[in-house]
């Protein structure tokens, strides 16, 4: 698949930022790019990688190296996947389908967001290996209804996000007018009109093909439109969700069950005792609790308590060296969000494929420069 013409000069994931900022309306860019409150955790995620150094070994035969990695019973062609990102279809046309298709071709995992604007059933048709990330209320009937829908869609890996008992305070995007749902107004309209490539290439194209996007996957039925004067009616809330609910769901769910948003080794022990298959070490990309510990700093202590679980990592990955550092510190697999979001906005499936290839080549190059042929050799390359 050829590289999209507007991404020919993209040579690393960070090159996507400026292009996406120019393409997207300000409200949508701010929703995707900013963190909670003062952005301290979001910025801390990146600084944490800068504090880790690698020590190469020389004169090692690395001519037969591999970056394949096993995860939850499947071998993938790279040790990274696409993290769940809500409202992606507002950034790029059919973004979730393009993640799914690109991930299938590249043989990497893709975790679909519970906040996606495309029904999970359509995404599962595009990629039978798709995972689903859910936001669930503290109500077992609603959890049962949603998990039944996920299973009936053919999805076998379920990820429950557990670090949002209440929403984060993302003041910058709220000032710009992006919230769930978006309230129509003059400012939003002017913002859209001033970005005609997005207006015609994403929004109007979506309206013509499938109508106004809806919040599709919060429950067993379709939710409200993403643009609406009416706020959703909430019968249940998440701040009562607890470990007993996870134990109940573990007994009920037949596939792989993971949680996302763990930063504590004590919670890791409880997750292992609950019988979970894995967990994501994550601070939600800095989008929930500002000043939450950077995920990379929490990773080693969590990995030490993993038991039989798989340790997955997200928050802050931008380079192949970042992937390698997270693996060396104890992650079994890593996931990346915002760069793939921008790639989907700019170049659809081909854009996502280009981003995957760039990161794969960086990982492949990095392990060679470290004198490694397999990813399990990385642990002693930390300095």
Rounded to the nearest 5 degrees, what angle is found at the Cα of 259, between the Cα atoms of 140 and 135?
A: 50
Distance of CA 168 to the CA centre of its chain: 17
Which of 4, 155, 172, 179 shows the shortest CA–CA distance to 72? 155
- Pairing mode, strands 80-82 and 278-281: unpaired
List of E strands, the chain: 69-71, 74-76, 80-82, 111-112, 131-134, 157-161, 256-262, 278-281, 310-313, 333-336
316-341 b/e (C-beta count within 10 Å ≥ 16 → b): bbbbbbbbbbbbbbbbbbbbbbbbbb
Which of 371, 383, 369, 362 shows the shortest CA–CA distance to 79? 362
For residues 158 and 94, what is the distance between their CA atoms, to the nearest angstrom? 22
Going from the C-alpha of 188 to that of each of 25, 53, 331, 345, 350, the distances in angstroms are: 8, 44, 41, 19, 29
Can you count the helices (H) and strands (E) in the chain?
15, 10
What is the predicted pLDDT for the residue at 311? 99
What is the predicted pLDDT for the residue at 235? 58
Q: Where are the alpha helices (DSSP H) in 212-252?
A: 243-252
Is 284 an active-site residue? yes
Q: What is the DSSP letter of 67?
A: -
User: Per the structure block, which two tokens stand in for 51?
Assistant: 């504090």
For residues 262 and 267, what is the distance between their CA atoms, to the nearest angstrom? 7
- Output the CATH code of domain 5-381: 3.20.20.70
User: Per the structure block, which two tokens stand in for 200?
Assistant: 């015609």
Contacts of 105 (CB under 8 A, 6+ apart): 1, 353
The pTM for the full model equals: 0.95
For residues 70 and 374, what is the distance between their CA atoms, to the nearest angstrom? 12
**Which residue among 195, 214, 284, 354 is the active-site one?**
284
For residues 323 and 87, what is the distance between their CA atoms, to the nearest angstrom? 25
What is the predicted pLDDT for the residue at 174? 66
What is the predicted pLDDT for the residue at 299? 99
Taking each helix axis as running N to C, give the angle between helix 320-328 and helix 295-303, from 0 to 180 degrees, rounded to the nearest 10: 30
For residues 219 and 137, what is the distance between their CA atoms, to the nearest angstrom? 10
What residue ranges do the domains of the chain occupy? 5-381
User: Per the structure block, which two tokens stand in for 98?
Assistant: 């393009």
Rounded to the nearest 5 degrees, what angle is found at the Cα of 216, between the Cα atoms of 213 and 222?
A: 105
pLDDT tens per residue, the chain (383 residues)? Answer: 899 999 999 999 999 999 999 999 999 999 999 998 998 999 999 999 999 999 999 999 999 999 999 999 999 999 999 999 999 999 999 999 999 999 999 999 999 999 999 999 999 999 999 999 999 999 999 999 999 999 999 999 999 999 998 988 877 666 666 666 777 788 889 999 999 999 999 999 999 999 999 999 998 889 888 887 776 666 558 899 999 999 999 999 999 999 999 999 999 999 999 999 999 999 999 999 999 999 999 999 999 999 999 999 999 999 999 999 999 999 999 999 999 999 999 999 999 999 999 999 999 999 999 999 999 999 999 99
What is the predicted pLDDT for the residue at 228? 78
């Amino acid at each position: 698949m050829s590289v999209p013409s507007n991404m020919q000069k993209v040579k690393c994931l960070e090159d996507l930022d400026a292009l996406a900022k120019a393409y997207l309306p300000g409200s949508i860019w701010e929703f995707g790019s900013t963190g909670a409150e003062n952005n301290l955790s979001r910025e801390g995620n990146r600084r944490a990688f800068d504090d880790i150094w690698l020590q190469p070994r020389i004169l090692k035969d690395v001519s037969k190296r591999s970056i394949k990695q096993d995860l939850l019973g499947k071998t993938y062609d790279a040790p990274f996947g696409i993290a769940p990102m809500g409202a992606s279809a507002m950034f790029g046309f059919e973004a979730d389908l393009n993640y799914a298709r690109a991930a299938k071709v590249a043989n990497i995992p893709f975790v679909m967001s519970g906040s996606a604007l495309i029904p999970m059933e359509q995404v599962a048709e595009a990629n039978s290996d798709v995972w689903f990330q859910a936001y669930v209320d503290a109500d077992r009937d609603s959890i049962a209804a949603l998990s039944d829908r996920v299973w009936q869609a053919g999805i076998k890996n379920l990820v429950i996000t557990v670090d949002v008992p209440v929403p984060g305070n993302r003041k910058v995007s709220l000032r710009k007018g992006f919230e769930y749902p978006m309230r129509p107004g003059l400012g939003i309209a002017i913002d859209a009109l001033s970005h005609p490539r997005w207006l015609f290439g994403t929004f109007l194209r979506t309206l013509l093909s499938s109508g106004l996007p809806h919040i599709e996957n919060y429950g067993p039925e379709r939710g409200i439109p993403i643009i609406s004067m009416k706020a959703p009616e909430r019968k249940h809330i998440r701040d009562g969700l607890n470990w007993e609910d996870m134990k109940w769901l573990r007994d009920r769910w037949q596939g792989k069950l993971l949680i996302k948003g763990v930063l504590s080794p004590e919670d890791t022990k409880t997750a292992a005792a609950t019988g979970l298959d894995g967990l994501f070490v994550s601070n939600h990309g800095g989008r929930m609790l500002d000043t939450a510990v950077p995920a990379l700093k929490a990773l080693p202590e969590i990995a030490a308590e993993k038991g039989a679980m798989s340790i997955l990592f997200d928050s802050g990955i931008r380079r192949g060296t970042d992937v390698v550092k997270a693996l060396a510190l104890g992650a079994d697999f890593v996931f990346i969000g915002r760069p793939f979001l921008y790639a989907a906005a700019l170049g659809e499936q081909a854009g996502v494929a280009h981003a995957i290839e760039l990161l794969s080549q960086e990982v492949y190059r990095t392990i060679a420069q470290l004198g490694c042929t397999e990813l399990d050799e990385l642990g002693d390359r930390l300095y």
